[in-house]
Amino acid sequence: MSQEALLWDMAVEHFGSEVLLQMVVEMWGSAAPPFRPVVEHLSTDRMSQEALNILKIAQERVGAFVPDRRPIHDTVTLYARHASDLAGGLITRLPKGRLSPAMRGSRIEIELGM
């Protein structure tokens, strides 16, 4: 998703850090290891420090670390499938009026199971 950083920052603003952390832990805790272990790196280059901190704390709480990857300062390394699932979960939880047109389109696709 090209607007992933915007989505995370919007979620922090809308839900607040504590609620967003609980939501992310809940969503991520039920994620299974992906069939294809493609990884993604989310960093402060793309998102706010607060959103990144929430992801780091949630990752630690659910133990969703990518094996054989060293921690990188100001970066969260996670499976691309998990990043996509988390972004999709945020899109469905944010009010439609807060979403950009592209995000609303993604939400419709998610709701229709596409």
pLDDT digits 0-9 by tens, 56-113: 999 999 999 999 888 888 999 999 999 999 999 999 999 999 999 999 999 999 999 8
Question: In the structure, what pLDDT confidence band is assigned to residue 2 with cuts at 50, 70 and 90?
Answer: low
Angle between helices 17-29 and 80-93 (to 10 degrees): 130
Please give the backbone phi and psi of residue 41, each rounded to the nearest 5 degrees, phi first: -120, 120
User: For residue 90, what are the domain limits?
Assistant: 4-111
Q: Which runs of consecutive H residues, i.e. helices, occur in 30-114? A: 49-62, 80-93, 101-111
- Specify the residue for token string 């998610």: 110
Please give the backbone phi and psi of residue 70, each rounded to the nearest 5 degrees, phi first: -80, 140
Burial category of 86 from C-beta neighbours within 10 Å (exposed 0-12, middle 13-18, buried 19 and up): buried
Structurally, how many domains does the chain consist of? 1
CA distance linking residue 17 with residue 108, whole number of Å: 26
CA distance linking residue 102 with residue 89, whole number of Å: 15
Give the pLDDT mean for 41-55: 93
